[in-house]
């Protein structure tokens, strides 16, 4: 993954519960069972949990 500043960033080896929820949300969005906006929000929570976003 590349950050907004252009540097490469890796997800931490230990993934939290928000990561799993985000994965499921993205799959649901691809199947039109969840909106893209809701999946994006879940991913944002996972980024915060992993301390990759502010």
Q: What pLDDT, in 10s, does the model give residues 16-49?
A: 999 999 999 999 999 999 999 999 999 999 999 9
Q: The dihedral of CA 46, 50, 52, 54: what is its sign? A: positive
pTM of this structure = 0.78
Cα→Cα distances 35→4, 18, 38, 48, Å: 24, 17, 5, 20
Q: To 5 degrees, how large is the angle CA 15–CA 16–CA 19?
A: 80
* Per-residue pLDDT, 12: 85
Sorted by where each begins, the domain ranges of the chain are 1-54
């Amino acid at each position: 993954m590349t950050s907004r500043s252009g540097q490469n960033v890796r997800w931490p080896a230990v993934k939290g519960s928000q990561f799993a929820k985000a994965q499921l949300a993205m799959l649901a969005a691809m199947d039109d069972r969840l909106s893209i906006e809701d999946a994006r929000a879940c991913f944002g929570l996972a980024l915060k949990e992993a301390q990759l976003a502010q």
